Amino acid sequence: MIKNIQNSKTYRCGTLVYTKMGLISLFSWLLWGDFCYILMEKVVPTLVPLKLKEMGFSATVMGAMMVTIPSVLNFTITPMVSYQSDRCRSHWGRRIPYILASTPFVALLLVMIGYSKPLGELLIGLIPFELSSTTFFVVWMGFLLTFFQFFNMFVSSVFYYLFNDVVPPELIGRFTSLFRMISYFASGLYNLYIFKHAETHMTEIFVGISIIYLISFIMMGLKVKEGQYPEIISEIENPPRFLEKVQSYFKDCFFHPIYRNVYAGHVTWYLGTMINGAFLLLSAQSFGFNLEQYGKISATSEIFCAFLFIPLGWAVDRFHPIRIMMIGTVWYFLSMTMRLLFFFGIFSGNHLFVLWGFVFMLVDIGGAIYNAAEFPILMKLFPKKFYGQFCSAMSMVRAIFLSVGGILAGLFLDYIQRTFQLEGGRQYQLIPLWSMLFSVLNFVFIFRAYTLWKKLGGDHTYHPPLR
């Protein structure tokens, strides 16, 4: 018996050692946490636009609330949390404490967003000065969404870093594929069974998912164990002052062009896709599709793409994520070109629903190819010791551009609507123009990162450059 245990295969990640059963337990808790996290993440971008549209908010205001506010918080909160998390040494590890402390606040604010209208109607009567209902609800919704995103930044900043700290390196490609599969399944099930009830049971959806998220994430935080991390001796002997920390942060993260090109590629991808995510439902409604039809299209596409992550995980490990990422960008550009044709009435008639759903799936396949490579490329190219710090630098750069991009995207759509006198939300059918532009830029930056990676050793001898 003892001999069998000693001879059984083990897997290591730092000081952590797993048996096969331990690995199954780890994967199960992380993937279950991801499943519930995706449900929580789906609620705000899918239901809040419906709330804001019902309140009569313009696309510019919606873009500011849905994109700009999270981006500004991402710029300010994520770097601080990531820098401190990399250096945190506690009984619970360096990632779990942030998850456990922030999760209850995220759940509470999700419930408050669900009850935003009755709570707002109660509060407006308590204001001692005159304020229009429209102005109040703009401020009120901005307040709720700001604090929701504030606390969610603590969770989202470290949740994905946790994978790099607890999953054995030789299994990271397969784990991220399973992770993406679960994400797409969760999103698909949400769109298929939950989203169609958004107009009639929106508050119940907010409350139900917030409870599921709260329980599951607390349980995951208690069950997943981190290992021991080496102390950063230089910072213990000579604790850096604040300005020295800032200087070191920027010098470490931006000194090499390969990192700057990865950041730029990441930013242009999200600039191109964020408008698609924020306004795609409104685009579907402009073609006359109802919520149930949109949910079926989205769910079918996401569940189909979920199965693609099995071969995509193998391809990422076999051919390197940077190559797979470039393929995903090209595919996304071509499928967005096809979606643009619907605006000109090239695809119409009785089969519009089927054709639109087919092109919707093609776009999602491009996104799936890109997403399969997104986490692995960061784990391959960024230094493991300061992984959170480098990821936060990338998020900070993204936040700077998205904070402006969200408003510009809304202005772009409002300008099109006014200039061409488009009715029935037809301006949202021109979203592909925006996405195609940034797909081209994304390919340029990722290709430049690829050439630098090759010069630094490529597949065989690349090591993340440090100062």
Q: To which H or E segment does residue 17 belong?
A: strand 16-18
Q: pLDDT for 280-301, tens place per residue?
A: 888 888 888 888 888 888 888 8
The strand pairing partners of 13, in sequence order, are 16
Three-state DSSP class for residue 143: helix
pTM above 0.75, yes or no: no
- Read off the pLDDT of each residue in 143-157 and give the average, rounded to a whole number: 89
Closest CA to 451 of 269, 267, 443: 443
Stated length of the chain: 467
Closest CA to 36 of 284, 270, 214: 214
Quick one: pLDDT band at residue 239, thresholds 50, 70, 90?
Answer: low
What burial class does residue 108 get, using C-beta atoms within 10 Å of its C-beta: 0-12 exposed, 13-18 middle, 19+ buried?
A: middle
Closest CA to 253 of 383, 423, 88: 383
**Half-sphere exposure at residue 277, Cβ-oriented, CA atoms within 13 angstroms:** 19
Domain limits, the chain: 8-225+249-460
273 in Cβ contact with 367 (< 8 Å)? yes
Closest CA to 188 of 92, 277, 295: 295
CA distance 389 to 377: 16
Q: pLDDT for 351-379, tens place per residue?
A: 888 999 999 999 999 999 999 899 889 98
CA distance 134 to 52: 11
365 in Cβ contact with 357 (< 8 Å)? no
CA distance 399 to 421: 32
- Token pair of 461 as six digits: 């001898």
Tokens 């123009």 belong to residue: 433
Closest CA to 31 of 170, 163, 222, 179: 179
**Domain 8-225+249-460, CATH number (from 1.20.1250.20, 1.10.3210.10, 1.20.120.160, 3.40.50.720):** 1.20.1250.20
CA distance 76 to 399: 9
CB crowding 17-45: b at 16 or more within 10 Å, else e: ebeeeebeebbebbbbbbbbbbbbbbbbb
Q: pLDDT for 43-67, tens place per residue?
A: 888 888 887 877 777 777 777 787 7
Quick one: pLDDT band at residue 434, thresholds 50, 70, 90?
Answer: very high
Q: pLDDT for 189-232, tens place per residue?
A: 888 888 888 888 999 999 999 999 999 999 999 999 998 887 76
269 in Cβ contact with 53 (< 8 Å)? no
Query: Residue 239 corresponds to which amino acid?
Result: P
